[in-house]
Each structure stands twice: as structure tokens, then as C-alpha cells.
């Protein structure tokens, strides 16, 4: 049986996985999910990327939005707001709340996030093995300009570049600020001390193919690779590692990846993202047909590259992208 490991963020990763599962229904697919986007709100642990994968593959996702539950209502959020309890900018629905209550209850009882995720998936039956990248707490923070810094007396940074700046949680940057201000740095706080969750390194070691879906290369796949041991395990696995560009025609297909790419000094092009992963990690890279002229540059960087349609407009189109990724993996393997 074919064993595939996919490193996934939220919407892009989840939609790709739906196509992959459709393309190779008999494959054993292990998903290593990003948990750097996790946030604690109202005393609850919210795991947006794990939930987006779980709901999308389990048939419970709000299709148009790409995150949260279908047929959602917001009575709890409205009641909290009536008490003046926020944040009002983060839309947690009533159905979604139940997931976070169960998760937090299990974590309080001593279960690690990996066991909790397995328990939640028992309901949703996503058809893949969904693992958090780590059971340890990692929280992505984004460094932005702080307009209040001059007044507050903050401003001395000892030369580390943080004067006049402040770190905000990734969700605050993404959802409240809509990535409307420049990101100077993206820091996965806690990643350096985190350990891969049980099963992650084992799945990579047993994999026939590793895929980087069209997820955000900085705050999704990049955060997973920041957990010590995961990047090394993938590079040393001796199996094809292929990725699909989340950038088409110099713009992110979904989300605001350009903002966080700039923070790590990477241009918003399909070729620059491939070079960012690097030939030491990536063996194959799919770009969209709109970027066919960049194939040569990627191949010159030592990464096998093909141009195919990469818009995930429906399940069959997405399944075809998955087939192309697997075909590229076979080409690299040969």
C-alpha cells in the first residue's frame, strides 16, 4: 500500500487533501498538521488548521468560507459580546465551540493534543491519519510596527530590531488586521523546544512520498518544519518530496501569503518559494501553467519542475493536481 505524508496548513492543505484522497483512495495518508495558528480564547484551546482539515475531510466544513462549520450559528459569541467579552474579531460559532470544549476538557484531563485529535477524528472519520506536528505549545507571533511605542517609552531594543515594534498573535495579524500592515518577522514561539508528536517521525520514515500541498510556506509548512527533527527526517527519508506552489502568477491563490513571505525575504513567486524550501529538501515542484516560464529557473536550482493547472476549483481538478504530484514523485524516484 502506498504511504503518503502531507504537511498541511488550513484551507489550501485541506482542499488538496480532499483531492488526494479522491485520487488515491487506497493510499495510507498521514497528515502532519500545523498547530502554530492555535489560540487560547475564552479558556478554550482552538486549533484552526487541525479543525479545518478535520471538518473539510469529514464533510462538516463551511464550504464557501473554507474554515468553521457549515450551518453555523453564533448565539454564544453574541452572548459573550453582550457581557463585553471578546475578542469580537474572531468568529467562533456554536457548533465549533463544542469541538473546542471537548478538546480543552480532554487536555485538562491530561491527554496530549495528538490523542485528543484522534478522539475528535473518531467522529469525523476524515479518511486520513491526522497528527498535530507537536503535542507541545507552539504559537506563531508576528512582529509589526507599534504606533504607540514612542509614547509608551518602549523603544530600546538593544540592537535586535524590535524598537518601535510589537509582537501579535498570528490570528490577530491574520484575522483582526487582515495582514494589512507589514510583517517584519514571523516567530514560531516555542518551536525550538518542541518535539514532534508521536507518530510524526515514524510516518515520515515509513513514507513512500512526502507532499507539501499548496499551503502557506511560512506560517503553515514552515512552522511544521521548524519543529526540530521534522525537517531532518524528511530530508533524510530518501523518498521523493514534492510540493505544489501556493503562488500563481506572483500572487497567493488563497490568503495573504505575500505578507509573510516578505517577512522572511522571499519574493511572491512560485520559483522563489521552491528556492526557499531548497533542493536539499524538495525534489519536485509543481507550478501553475501561468508560471510555465519559471520551470527552467526551478530546474536550474536542482528541483524537478512541471507546469500543470493548480487551481483547486473542484474535487476532480484537485484530484488531478494530486495525480500530477504523485507522477512527479515517480519521475524523481526513477
Cα–Cα distances in angstroms (integers) from residue 83 to residues 86, 244, 316, in the given order = 9, 45, 46
Q: Are strands 165-169 and 139-145 parallel, antiparallel or unpaired?
A: antiparallel
Shortest gap between Cβ of 46 and ligand FO1 (angstroms)? 6
The stretch among 47-55, 103-111, 233-241, 288-296 that binds ligand FO1 (CB under 6 A) is 47-55
Is 33 near ligand FO1 (CB under 6 A)?
no
Is 212 near ligand FO1 (CB under 6 A)?
no
Is 37 near ligand FO1 (CB under 6 A)?
yes
Pair 305, 299: CB distance under 8 Å: yes
According to CB under 6 A, which one of 6, 17, 27, 92 is a site residue for ligand FO1?
Answer: 92
Residues in Cβ contact with 105 at an 8 Å cutoff, skipping those fewer than 6 apart:
none
Is 10 near ligand FO1 (CB under 6 A)?
yes
Question: Rounded to whole angstroms, how far apart are CA atoms 5 and 331?
Answer: 18
According to CB under 6 A, which one of 16, 174, 212, 285 is a site residue for ligand FO1?
Answer: 174
Nearest partner of 204 among 226, 230, 243, judged by Cα:
230
Residues in Cβ contact with 327 at an 8 Å cutoff, skipping those fewer than 6 apart:
none
- Which residues ranging from 95 to 134 are in contact with ligand FO1 (CB under 6 A)? 96
Q: Which residue is nearest to ligand FO1 (CB)?
A: 10
Shortest gap between Cβ of 24 and ligand FO1 (angstroms)? 24
Is 139 near ligand FO1 (CB under 6 A)?
no
* Residue closer to ligand FO1 (CB basis): 52 or 209: 52
* Residue closer to ligand FO1 (CB basis): 68 or 246: 68
Is 68 near ligand FO1 (CB under 6 A)?
yes
Cα–Cα distances in angstroms (integers) from residue 257 to residues 106, 171, 218, 264, 270, in the given order = 33, 14, 8, 11, 12
Question: Rounded to whole angstroms, how far apart are CA atoms 238 and 283?
Answer: 10
Q: Are strands 28-33 and 3-8 parallel, antiparallel or unpaired?
A: parallel
Question: Rounded to whole angstroms, how far apart are CA atoms 215 and 199?
Answer: 22
According to CB under 6 A, which one of 117, 171, 209, 223 is a site residue for ligand FO1?
Answer: 171
Is 49 near ligand FO1 (CB under 6 A)?
yes
* Residue closer to ligand FO1 (CB basis): 177 or 292: 177
Give the DSSP H or E segment for 52: helix 48-58
Binding interface with ligand FO1 (CB under 6 A):
9-10, 37, 46, 48-49, 51-52, 67-68, 90-92, 96, 171, 174-175
Amino acid at each position: 500500500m502506498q504511504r503518503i505524508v502531507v504537511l498541511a496548513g488550513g484551507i489550501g492543505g485541506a482542499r488538496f487533501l480532499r483531492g488526494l484522497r479522491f485520487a488515491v483512495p487506497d493510499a495510507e495518508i498521514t497528515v502532519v498538521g500545523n498547530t502554530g495558528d492555535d489560540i487560547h480564547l475564552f479558556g478554550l484551546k482552538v486549533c484552526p488548521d487541525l479543525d479545518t482539515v478535520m471538518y473539510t475531510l469529514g464533510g462538516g466544513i463551511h464550504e464557501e468560507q473554507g474554515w468553521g462549520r457549515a450551518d453555523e450559528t453564533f448565539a454564544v459569541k453574541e452572548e459573550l459580546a453582550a457581557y463585553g467579552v471578546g475578542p469580537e474579531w474572531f468568529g467562533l460559532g456554536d457548533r465549533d465551540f463544542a469541538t473546542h470544549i471537548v478538546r480543552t476538557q480532554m487536555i485538562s484531563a491530561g491527554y496530549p493534543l495528538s490523542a485528543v485529535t484522534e478522539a475528535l477524528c473518531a467522529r469525523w472519520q476524515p479518511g486520513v491519519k491526522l497528527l498535530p506536528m507537536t503535542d507541545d505549545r507552539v504559537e506563531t507571533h508576528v512582529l509589526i510596527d507599534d504606533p504607540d511605542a514612542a509614547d509608551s517609552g518602549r523603544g530600546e531594543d538593544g540592537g535586535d530590531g524590535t524598537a518601535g515594534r510589537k509582537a501579535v498573535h498570528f490570528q490577530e495579524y491574520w484575522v483582526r488586521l487582515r495582514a494589512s500592515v507589514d510583517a517584519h518577522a514571523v516567530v514560531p514561539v516555542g518551536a525550538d523546544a518542541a518535539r514532534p508528536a508521536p507518530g510524526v517521525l515514524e510516518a515520515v520514515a515509513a513514507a513512500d512520498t512526502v507532499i507539501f500541498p499548496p499551503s502557506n510556506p511560512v506560517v503553515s509548512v514552515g512552522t511544521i518544519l521548524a519543529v526540530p527533527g521534522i525537517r531532518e527526517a524528511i530530508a533524510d527519508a530518501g523518498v521523493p518530496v514534492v510540493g505544489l506552489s501556493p503562488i500563481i502568477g506572483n500572487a497567493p491563490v488563497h490568503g495573504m501569503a505575500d505578507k509573510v513571505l516578505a517577512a522572511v525575504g522571499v519574493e511572491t513567486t512560485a520559483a522563489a518559494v521552491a528556492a526557499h524550501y531548497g533542493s536539499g529538501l524538495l525534489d519536485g515542484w509543481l507550478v501553475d501553467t501561468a508560471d510555465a516560464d519559471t520551470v527552467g529557473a526551478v530546474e536550474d536550482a536542482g528541483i524537478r519542475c512541471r507546469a500543470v493547472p493548480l487551481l483547486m476549483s473542484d474535487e476532480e481538478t484537485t484530484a488531478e493536481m494530486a495525480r500530477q504530484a504523485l507522477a512527479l514523485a515517480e519521475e524523481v524516484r526513477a
